[in-house]
């Protein structure tokens, strides 16, 4: 006879397995290239960019990717990407704000220039959205292929 497990622990286990399967397909090289594309132009010092910015922005990209993947089941069941994005808007905004705060701190600490703050925020928004969308599309693909179990 099997031990009784709670529904919450079963859901958590399935969620972790789903995330693992998605993360296997994610390329660290691609993450680093995208990070460099969006944020390297703001930092004159390669050392600051490589030590302080790159690792943290990759972590935020992974979080946005997993958030998009988590919301992909709504897309699989027929909701448009705009409606699904509205569902996760608060969490995505919080992640974007946290990323902006971190990158902005390092930008101001290294350059002292406050003129590019809006451009930096737009870069953070676009970066997070691109990874949310990537996670969403990969998640929908997994659901369609029935690989989410």
pLDDT tens digits, one per residue of 88-105: 999 999 999 999 999 999
* 1 pLDDT more than 70: no
pLDDT above 70 coverage of the chain, percent: 97
Scanning the chain, the segments in alpha helix (DSSP H) are 7-24, 28-39, 46-48, 54-76, 81-87, 89-111, 117-144
Q: What are the tens digits of pLDDT across the range 18-28?
A: 888 888 989 99
| pTM score, whole prediction | 0.86
Output the pLDDT for position 4.
Answer: 72
Q: What are the tens digits of pLDDT across the range 54-86?
A: 999 999 999 999 999 999 989 888 888 899 999
Alpha-carbon gap, residue 13 to 11, rounded angstroms: 5
Mean pLDDT of all residues in 31-50: 88
Torsion, CA 15, CA 19, CA 20, CA 25, rounded to 10: 150
How many other CB atoms sit within 10 Å of the CB of residue 120?
18
CB 81 within 8 A of CB 119: no
């Amino acid at each position: 006879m099997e031990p009784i497990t709670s529904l919450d622990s079963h859901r958590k286990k399935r969620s972790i397995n789903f995330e693992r399967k998605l993360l296997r397909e994610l390329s660290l090289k691609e993450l680093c290239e995208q990070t460099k594309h969006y944020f390297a132009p703001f930092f004159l010092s390669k050392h600051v960019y490589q030590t302080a910015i790159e690792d943290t922005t990759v972590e935020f990209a992974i979080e946005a990717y997993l958030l998009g993947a988590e919301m992909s089941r709504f897309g699989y069941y027929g909701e448009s990407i705009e409606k699904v994005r509205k569902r996760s808007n608060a969490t995505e905004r919080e992640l974007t704000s946290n990323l902006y705060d971190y990158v902005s701190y390092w930008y101001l600490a290294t350059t002292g220039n406050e003129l590019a703050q809006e451009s930096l925020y737009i870069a953070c928004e676009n970066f997070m959205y691109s990874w949310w969308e990537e996670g969403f599309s990969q998640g929908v693909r997994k659901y369609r292929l029935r690989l989410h179990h």
